[in-house]
Amino acid sequence: ISVAIFATAGFVEWPHAILMMAAATAGGYAGAPLARALPKHLVRGLIALIGFGMSAIFFWRLF
């Protein structure tokens, strides 16, 4: 419902939204087989590393 409200109100930047939709779809289709092919501990470690890295960047920018 919120997507329809934002779209009809003109708040959606369609070129950016279409690019994000395409990238998310491609990432989902490519990422799932890759995550299944890699060892679980490696995937979990990468996810944790990315999460901690993003948190550190956000914290750094805040202060």
pTM listed for this prediction: 0.62
Range of the domain at 17: 2-62
Share of the chain above pLDDT 90, in %: 95
pLDDT at position 63 is: 87
Residue 12 CB neighbours (<10 A): 13
Tell me how far CA of residue 9 lies from CA of 3, 5, 13, 58, in angstroms: 10, 6, 11, 30
Which pLDDT band, with edges at 50, 70 and 90, does 48 fall under?
Answer: very high
Tell me how far CA of residue 7 lies from CA of 15, 18, 60, in angstroms: 13, 13, 34
* Domain count across the chain: 1
At 20-46, the pLDDT tens digits run: 999 999 999 999 999 999 999 999 999
